[in-house]
Amino acid sequence: MNTIEYLKKTYGYDTPIFLKDIRIGRKSKTAIKQDLYRACKNGEIKREANGVYYFSNPSSLLPDNGLGFEEIVEKKYIRDGCANPGYEDVNVYGYISGLNFLNMFGLSQQVPMTLEITTNKTSCKKGKYMIGEMQAIIRKPKTVITCENWRTLQFLDLFHLLSLEEVEANRQKLADYAKNVVGYSNLMTYLPLYGPDTRMKVEKGEIAIAIA
């Protein structure tokens, strides 16, 4: 089977392709590496970083500036965007966390320079993924992340970053999110996975009571 044709059909254009994930019948990793090396020389495929490739869309009117770091990290650690196009949250295995999500949630004006991600794709409690000078902090989750629970786990992670005073000051915002996005059942299912500090903040902040 032609490696390049198979990859193009499987991944399409402008999507990160990770060498370690490529499986083509019984073809060896060495043979696949050789095919990619030749294809890069011929301009059939682009090499973005060590072990990361992509096909540039020939019909695009925009210049090919390569893949962005966040795009690569999203595919590697958060979700498979090309697995089932058109279906939101299919094959989710991670989420943005830490100060990044605190900022996205609107509880911090600080814009972190380093991405923080919690993902199934690591066995380490805390690690790093780097491309050049760009880096992301990678953390292991409390439990296996799925498309059904990632928003709940992401939300509960927030409480580790907030003081009790901040929880109480933002009680309505937190309660509204818990009610409209997380849900009481999910909150109570995953809350026991967290330490007493998080459970105390959820209780004293009356988050569970507000959405029950």
Q: What is the pLDDT of residues 148-171, one digit of tens each?
A: 999 999 999 999 999 999 999 999
Domains of the chain from N-terminus onward = 3-67 (1.10.10), 71-211 (no CATH)
pLDDT computed for residue 58 by the predictor: 82
Q: Does residue 43 surpass a pLDDT of 80?
A: yes
Query: What is the Cα–Cα distance from 67 to 45, expressed in whole angstroms?
Result: 13
Q: Does residue 84 surpass a pLDDT of 60?
A: no
Strands, sheet with 94-96, edge to edge from the N-terminal-most edge strand: 94-96, 115-119, 134-139, 126-131
pTM over 0.95: no
Q: Does residue 128 surpass a pLDDT of 50?
A: yes
Query: What is the Cα–Cα distance from 76 to 194, expressed in whole angstroms?
Result: 26
CA distances from 92 to 22, 45, 205 (A): 19, 27, 29
CA angle 172, 173, 175 (to 5 degrees): 60
Q: Can you name the residues that pair with 128 across neighbouring β-strands?
A: 137
Least confident of 39-43, 64-68, 94-98, 122-126: 64-68
